[in-house]
Every structure is written in structure tokens, then in C-alpha cells.
Amino acid sequence: MKDRVPSGERETVNAGGFSRRQFVRLGTMSTLAASALGQDVVHEAGEPRRSYGERAYFEKAGRYFNPGAYSGTGAARTPLQDLYGIITPSALFFERLHAGVPTTFLVFLFAPCLSWLFAQSAAEHLGRVPTKEEIRRWESPILPDGTGLPIGSGRAVHGEVVFANKCAGCHGGRGEGRDPVGPQLVGGIGSLGTRDPVLTVGSYWPYSTSVWDYIHRAMPYYPNPGTLSVDETYAVTAYILYLNRIITRDQVMNQQTLPRVRMPNRDGFVSDPRPDVHATAKR
């Protein structure tokens, strides 16, 4: 028969062979030995807590900067796909830069002035009625058959110069795009039916006249949309079509030739076959 140890004297033994009492004795003896040797015993819990928003030592943060067409302009953003760890607010941002001054700063600087200006406009009836020419320019449609296209012309060789000065800051020198500022304009032809479709002017847009219309109305997006002349718009359109290998470099785009350009995805858009949609459209 085995001897029984009274419950008051029983010691719990851990996996390393030390009982609780032995572990406490060892710690006490170590502390007394350190004091006897003149070594300081640490009584603080460690470094103080960091302020809210400060990056942790195990956090990776980064910044992507896409330069604009002019010195000091462009956009900066957080590369969300590259972050890991605990993401703090100091690592999340997006800025548009105007010669080194972020958009957020400009908003805070001019917000009071804009509020006063809007209030004065309402009170003093500032502004004017748009002219017939302005209304015509905003409302004139450019149809796929070329209806509405103005007189003018342009070639890719001339459009390359205009594109470099007024478009490359957002879309890249050869239309490759500069995410997130400007989308890709070139490439992706034949990719729409794959698992990784690339939507560009060359791969997706069905009509060349729509390209001209959009550029003339809305580009350059910053700082002065809709300011390209008719000839500049024809030239930039020709350059984009040339980069997509749809026309040649010296081919002239004008009222007659542009509507004849057949885009690769011309037959990719089909009419909605549902009868109720057609019935609604005729009302």
C-alpha cells in the first residue's frame, strides 16, 4: 500500500518537476540575490501607452504618389492592398495635390469664403442666364453616324502632343492609366469574354464618335474640362485610336472619317429583347 500525503502538505508538481512552493522559493531567493549584488529591480510595467492613431511597431504603412502633368501636382493614397497588422487612422488617406498643397488644406482654407460667396449669390441674385451657344454646346448630341460632329480634323501625330500636355498627367504617356487618378485607355482588346476583362476605350467602347463626344465635353478632367478645341479633340481621339491599333498614325479624323471607324466591341452591345422594355421606351 502507498503512503498517503495529508491534503494540507500536498504540493502540485508541474511538467518541469517544480512544485508551486519550490517555484515561489526560487523566485524569492533570486530577488534577494539581485538586491544583494546591488542591481535595481524594475517596478514599472513598461513603456507608456502610445497616443491614439500612432502606428504600431508591427504595422506596415505606405504611400503611393502619382505625379501630375505639372510639378508638384498629382495624387497620393494609401496602398490598402499592402497593409497588414492593426491599421490605424494615420495610415488611411487620399489627397489631391496642387503644386504641393493638398486638396484637404484648400477646402479648409477656402470653405468660409465659399460659404459667404454662396450666401451672397442667393441674396444678390448673382450669376447670369446661359447663352444659346452654351446651351447648344452642352445639349448637342453626337450620334454614332456622325450627326452633330463639328467641322474640323486631327491626326494622331498632333494628338500625341496635346495628350502629353493635357492628358498624360492622369492617363499616362501612352494611355496606360495612373490609378487611382485616371483609368487605362489602351489595351484589353479581346479580354471582355475572359475572367479578367480589361475595360478601355479600345476594348469596350462601341462607337468612335462617342469617344470624341466624351473627350470634348469632359476632358481634361483637371483643371479645365471641356476646353479642348474641335481640332484638338479630333487629334486626341485619333491618338487614342492609334494607340489601340484601330487606325494608323497618319490617318486623318474628321466629320466623314471618324464615323467610319469600326470599334472592336461594336457588336458587343445588343438591344434588350424584353418586350416590356420596348413598350415602355415607345411611350
Q: What is the chain's mean pLDDT, rounded? A: 75
Identity (one letter) of the amino acid at 248?
Answer: T
Give the residue extent of every domain in the chain. 64-124, 132-260
Query: What does the alpha-carbon distance between residue 202 and residue 189 come to, in Å, rounded to a whole number?
Result: 6
Query: What does the alpha-carbon distance between residue 161 and residue 41 come to, in Å, rounded to a whole number?
Result: 73
pLDDT score recorded for residue 204 = 93
pLDDT score recorded for residue 225 = 84
Q: How large is the C-alpha radius of gyration of the chain?
A: 34
Q: What is the DSSP letter of 52?
A: T
CA dihedral 138, 143, 148, 149 (to 10 degrees): 100
pLDDT tens sequence across 219-249:
998 778 889 999 999 999 999 999 999 999 9
Q: Which three cell numbers stand for residue 35?
A: 538586491
Q: Which three cell numbers stand for residue 84?
A: 497588414
How large is the average pLDDT for residues 132-161? 88
What does each C-alpha distance from 141 to 24, 99, 175, 221, 254 come to in angstroms?
Answer: 88, 36, 26, 20, 16
Tell me the CATH class for 132-260.
mainly alpha
More confident of the two residues 269 and 212: 212
Angle between helices 208-218 and 230-243 (to 10 degrees): 130
Query: What does the alpha-carbon distance between residue 239 and residue 215 come to, in Å, rounded to a whole number?
Result: 12
Q: What is the DSSP letter of 173?
A: T
Task: Please classify residue 237 by burial: count the beta carbons closer than 10 Å to its beta carbon, then call 0-12 exposed, 13-18 middle and 19+ buried.
Answer: buried
Q: What are phi and psi of 6, to 5 degrees?
A: -55, 145
What does each C-alpha distance from 46 to 34, 42, 88, 92, 206 come to in angstroms?
Answer: 20, 9, 22, 29, 65
pLDDT score recorded for residue 8 = 47
More confident of the two residues 107 and 190: 190
pLDDT score recorded for residue 47 = 59
Measuring CA to CA, which residue among 259, 205, 267 is closest to residue 234? 259
pLDDT tens sequence across 102-134:
555 555 555 566 566 666 655 556 677 888 877
